Amino acid sequence: MDALTGGCFLLHFLSMIDHKLESYDFSLPKELIAQKPTEKRSSSRLLVVKHKNDDCTCEPKLKESTFTCVTNFLREDDLLVFNDSKVIPARIECFKETGAKIEIFILDNKNVSCHDSRVHFYAMVKPKKKLREKIKLFLKKSEHYLIVENLLEVDSKFCMISSSLSMDVLIEQFGKIPLPPYIDRVPDKLDEERYQTIYAKTAGSLAAPTAGLHFDSETFAELKRKNIHTAFLTLHVGLATFTPITEEDISNHNMHFEHFSISEEVLSKILRAKRNKKRIIAVGTTSLRTLESLELNQNHSGKFQINNFQGENIFGKTDIFIRPGYKFKLVDGLITNFHLPKSTLFILISAFLGREKCLEIYQYAIKKRFRFFSYGDAMLAFRPR
């Protein structure tokens, strides 16, 4: 195939990709949205997307299992890459002068600004309907209060809030575990443990990297016993996770930046696995997005090299939006939960497996009563090659 023919083929292929947001929608029964974690982390269900005889050109087969058995579907020398970001208590309970309760969910604890000695930050507010600008929101058992500085878009849940306290003090003294809004209950003591991975290390996420919630110490011991390798990077989950797609054409959606870091040791392990043709399996979409954000090139001998690496660590930020048509560079497999319809995460899975096939798999999961979202069940999938 010459360059002209190849270019025409690529343009034709891209024109066939469905960019309509409505094409990534599906009907999800409310009762399948998990409200509580399973009794044991690894006792959640697992849906495995396999290809017969590892021939990824054929139709995938679905197999139901439990997460306890996840290592049965992995190979010796596979490399699992985890996100060790730690969730911060970004949920703040406030009260209006009338006594009505208002919940503030801090959306970005990094990009804050200071005006008139007050700290300004973006937040999701619930309920927002009867709020007005400059209204005071009082903190529980404190003389301090927050102020609604800007209501932003009328039809959104977002506001600009200010505080007389620093962000660190506000979170430390008044913050609660930030369960997502589709978990319709007050966080309890169990959530402080279970809405955090057992390997969480670096504080900074506004939501848990939920695929990792299924791993317990027994699972890690089994990985080690079977010589399945592990590596840890950090991506702090931020506003990109919460921002819904409002564009009818998904290619017009802009992702917010999220910060990541990866060490020289981990990077060497990843490149060595790629060089030796071993499978790289991302534990969660955040790990996948970090890996695919690395600026890699392939030299004349076919070896991958890193472009943006200096010193002992890479510190970067990514706004990568992976959608159908994306060419994956590093990731061969993915462990993930089941995601919201029309979300950037579901669209990422559609890029990984194909849109129509992804919708079929989700319909199967719904029919078989798998549990969805943060405290839900898991899927292990390998992309067609």
pLDDT beyond 80 at 7 = no
**pLDDT at position 378:** 98
More confident residue, 373 or 60: 373
pTM value is: 0.88
User: Looking at the domain assignment, is residue 1 inside a domain?
Assistant: no
Q: How confident is the model at residue 2 (pLDDT cuts 50, 70, 90)?
A: low
Same domain, 162 and 100: yes
Quick check: is 73 in a domain?
A: yes
Q: What is the mean pLDDT of residues 101-122?
A: 83
* The two three-digit tokens of residue 354, written as one number: 């194909």
CA dist 384 to 214, 334, 347, Å? 25, 12, 16
Pair (272, 313) in one structural domain: yes
32 and 102 share one domain: no
- Give 337-378 pLDDT, tens digit per residue: 999 999 999 999 999 999 999 999 999 999 999 999 999 999
pLDDT score for 249: 97
Same domain (yes/no): 170, 251: no
Q: Are residues 361 and 238 in the same domain?
A: yes
Q: Does residue 3 register a pLDDT over 50?
A: no
Q: Are residues 330 and 243 in the same domain?
A: yes
pLDDT of residue 244: 87
Torsional sign, CA 232, 233, 237, 240: negative
Mark whether 163 and 54 lie in a shared domain.
no
- Alpha-carbon distance 305 to 216, whole Å? 33
The pLDDT of residue 8:
44
More confident residue, 39 or 306: 39
Q: Would you say residue 46 has pLDDT above 50?
A: yes
Q: What's the rounded Cα separation, in Å, for the pair 109 and 116?
A: 19
The DSSP letter of residue 23 is G
Tell me the CA distances in angstroms from 370 to 46, 222, 337, one per residue in order.
Answer: 9, 25, 10
Task: Please give the average per-residue pLDDT across 112-124, as a whole number.
Answer: 84
222-279: pLDDT as tens digits: 999 999 999 999 999 987 777 889 999 999 999 989 999 999 899 999 999 999 999 9
The predicted pLDDT at position 57 comes to 47
Residues in the chain: 385
Q: How far is Cα 80 from Cα 90, in angstroms, rounded to an integer?
A: 29
Query: Is residue 252 domain-resident?
Result: yes
Q: 94 pLDDT exceeds 70?
A: yes
Share of the chain above pLDDT 70, in %: 88
Residue 131 within any structural domain of the chain:
yes
Identify whether 107 is part of a domain.
Answer: yes
Supply the pLDDT for residue 156. Answer: 83
Average pLDDT over all residues of the chain: 89
Quick one: pLDDT at residue 154?
78
Among 176, 208, 231, the domain-final residue is 176
197 contacts 208 by C-beta, under 8 angstroms? yes
Structure tokens belonging to residue 231: 């590596």
Sign of CA dihedral 226, 228, 232, 236: negative
Taking 50 as the threshold, does the pLDDT of residue 10 lie above it?
Answer: no
* Domain with 301 in it: 20-87+191-382
Mean pLDDT of 196-221: 97
> In this model, does residue 132 exceed pLDDT 50?
yes
Least confident residue range of 16-20, 31-35, 77-81, 307-311: 307-311
| Pairing, β 333-337 against β 378-382 | antiparallel
Which of the two residues, 298 and 27, has the higher pLDDT score?
27
Kindly write down the DSSP assignment for every residue of 148-187, as one continuous string: EEE--STTSSEEEEEESS-HHHHHHHHEE----TTS-S--
Domain end among 150, 176, 202: 176
Q: What is the mean pLDDT of residues 54-65?
A: 71
Looking at residue 11, its pLDDT comes to 41
251 in the same domain as 129? no
Q: Is residue 333 part of a domain?
A: yes
CATH of the domain at 342: 3.40.1780.10
Give the pLDDT score at 13.
Answer: 43
Same domain for 115 and 82?
A: no
Q: Is residue 341 part of a domain?
A: yes
Shared-domain flag, residues 115 and 257: no
Of 126, 152, 176, the residue at which a domain comes to its end is 176
Statement to judge: residues 348 and 248 lie in one domain:
yes
Total tally of structural domains belonging to the chain: 2
> Which residue in this structure is represented by tokens 């919201």?
340
DSSP state string for 51-107: EGGG-TTSPEEEEEEEGGGGGGGS-TT-EEEEE-EEE---EEEEE-TT--EEEEEE-
Asked, for residue 182, whether it belongs to a domain, the answer is no
Neighbouring CB atoms inside 10 A of 80's CB total 24
Flag whether pLDDT at 155 surpasses 60.
Answer: yes
Angle between helical axes of 285-293 and 344-353 (0-180°, round to 10): 70
Split at pLDDT 50, 70, 90, the class of 181 is confident
Could you tell me if 54 and 148 lie in one domain? no
> Which pLDDT tens digit goes with each residue over 295-344?
876 554 444 555 555 556 888 899 999 999 999 999 999 999 999 999 99
- The secondary structure of 305-362, three-state, reads EECCCCCCEEEEEECCCCCCCCCCCCCCEEEEECCCCCCHHHHHHHHHHCHHHHHHHH
